[in-house]
Every structure is written in structure tokens, then in C-alpha cells.
């Protein structure tokens, strides 16, 4: 029971951080012309960071599953937002802003997938660079 309580506490702390980052980000990227730029930035940056977190930082720093859960589910889960994405999509649809709707859907879905691939590539490149550096140091 104690372990579950610790997990909830870590998630609570991560969610607190992520939701406050999301709020700060929404103040920086205010919607213009009805385009939900803040939600787009949050979701795309989360799509880039999550694979890097899972595939590089976890291995590089030997992070515990509790830390990964805190960062991925807690911080990134509360920072990114599918519910706001769907609400924004519906609002664009409902107001007949077809071009903005198409752009938003395309950037979010295709852009998110592309950034997830880029995040994996970033993780692999960083891991390779670390390995190469370690090899050079061992030869010296």
C-alpha cells in the first residue's frame, strides 16, 4: 500500500508541474484568429520529448520506473492535452473555420507523428554520440 501511495504522490507532483507548465505556455501562445496555437505547441512538444525521455534519458541516467512515470504520465500527461485538442477541433468545426480546422488537424496528427519519429532519432543520435565519446575516452 505504501508503494502505491508513493506513486500517487509522484504523479501528483508531476501533474502539478505539467499543468503549471501548460498554463504558462498558454499565456505565451495565445490563440490568434481562433487558431489554438497553445494546444498545438503543447501537444507537438510533448510528442517530441516523450520518445526522447523514454528511449534516451531512462537508459542514460538509469532512471527508475517511478521517475519515468512521474515525468511521462505526470508532467507530460498533464502538459499535453487531448481533451483540449478535441474541444478546439470541435470549435473550429462548429464555427465553420474549415481551413484552420484542416491545418490544425494536419499539424497535430501528422506533425505529432513526425516529431515522435524525430524524438526517437534524437534519442538514438544522442546515445550513439555518448557511446562514441566513451569509446574515444577509453582509447586515450
Say how far apart CA 129 and CA 138 lie, in whole Å: 14
108 labeled binding residue: no
DSSP reduced 3-state for 32: strand
Positive or negative, the Cα torsion across 125, 131, 137, 139?
Answer: negative
86 is in an annotated binding site: no
Distance, CA of 95 to CA of 2 (rounded, Å)? 50
Binding positions are 77, 80
Binding positions for Na(+) are 77, 80
Amino acid at each position: 500500500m505504501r508503494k502505491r501511495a508513493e506513486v500517487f504522490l509522484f504523479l501528483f507532483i508531476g501533474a502539478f508541474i505539467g499543468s503549471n507548465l501548460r498554463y504558462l505556455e498558454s499565456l505565451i501562445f495565445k490563440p490568434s484568429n481562433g487558431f489554438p496555437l497553445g494546444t498545438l505547441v503543447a501537444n507537438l512538444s510533448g510528442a517530441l520529448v516523450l520518445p526522447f525521455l523514454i528511449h534516451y534519458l531512462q537508459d542514460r541516467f538509469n532512471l527508475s520506473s517511478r521517475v519515468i512515470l512521474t515525468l511521462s504520465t505526470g508532467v507530460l500527461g498533464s502538459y499535453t492535452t487531448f481533451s483540449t485538442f478535441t474541444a478546439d477541433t470541435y470549435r473550429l468545426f462548429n464555427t465553420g473555420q474549415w481551413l484552420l480546422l484542416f491545418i490544425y488537424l494536419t499539424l497535430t496528427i501528422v506533425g505529432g507523428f513526425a516529431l515522435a519519429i524525430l524524438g526517437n532519432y534524437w534519442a538514438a543520435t544522442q546515445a550513439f554520440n555518448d557511446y562514441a565519446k566513451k569509446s574515444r575516452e577509453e582509447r586515450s
